[in-house]
Amino acid sequence: LMVEELMIMFNSFVAEYLSNTEGIKMTLPIRLQDAPNPLQVSQLVKKHSDLISLSIHLSHHMSDYSQDALTPGNGEFLLLIEVWKQIVSAAYNMDSYKMVELIATDDIHPKLVHIAFEFRKLLTKSLVLRSNSNALSKVGHYSLQTSYYTWASSPIRRYIDIIVQRLLHSALCKKTGEYTETEIDVLCNDFSKKYSKASAYENKSNKIHLAIQLKSQVV
């Protein structure tokens, strides 16, 4: 978890630095995600107002849309027996990090998992665009809660990270970036298409893997 947080911090810092560096700020591939539709989020809040306040993640994202609607209900909050055992064990061992993880992870709580799923369906698709190219390129990344974001931390996995690291090297050496705006536009468009195909393949693979696991279970 710490490695992931540091990776996000590094990518965000690089994006902010290069997006404001003369000679490079118009040719940086950035990753962005616009906020979900306010009306749809407000409708979701009204639909599940008695439960959303019990989720740290959901209440954080939805408080701006309808603060008054986030009131705890009087109904029961169900926990899976295995999850409760793990919470008790973590409390006994004074493992506060494990307790926070178990309590704050909506996907393992029956009362919250379907709301989290509905919220994720409202999120807009992430895009890769050239920095400062239009109004959309300045919206930041909603899910990561950052004003700037790019990919620079994994050059052995993604070619776009190599491009960004080359731009970072140029900036640190006080040089102008070696790519034109047109080249970056083409790169962003090509990468978006390939990343979309890779994500679709990964999702299909995960579904097949889950189906095989379910098939092997004894009913």
Distance (Å, rounded) from C-alpha 34 to C-alpha 26?
A: 20
Query: Is the separation of the CB atoms in 36 and 126 below 8 Å?
Result: no
Distance (Å, rounded) from C-alpha 12 to C-alpha 17?
A: 9
Q: What is the pLDDT of residue 141?
A: 94
Is the per-residue pLDDT at 66 higher than 90? Answer: no
For residue 1, count other CB atoms closer than 10 A to its CB: 7
Q: What is the pLDDT of residue 62?
A: 81
Distance (Å, rounded) from C-alpha 155 to C-alpha 161?
A: 5
How many angstroms from the chain centroid is the CA of residue 197? 19
Q: Which alpha helices (DSSP H) does 79-180 contain, by range? A: 81-92, 96-104, 110-122, 159-172
Q: Which residue has the tokens 């491009």?
A: 163
Averaged confidence pLDDT in the chain: 88
For residue 2, count other CB atoms closer than 10 A to its CB: 6
Q: What is the pLDDT of residue 89?
A: 94
pLDDT tens digits for range 145-169:
999 999 999 989 889 999 999 999 9
Distance (Å, rounded) from C-alpha 29 to C-alpha 179?
A: 11
DSSP state letters, 30-62: EEEBPPPPHHHHHHHHHHTHHHHTT-HHHHHHH
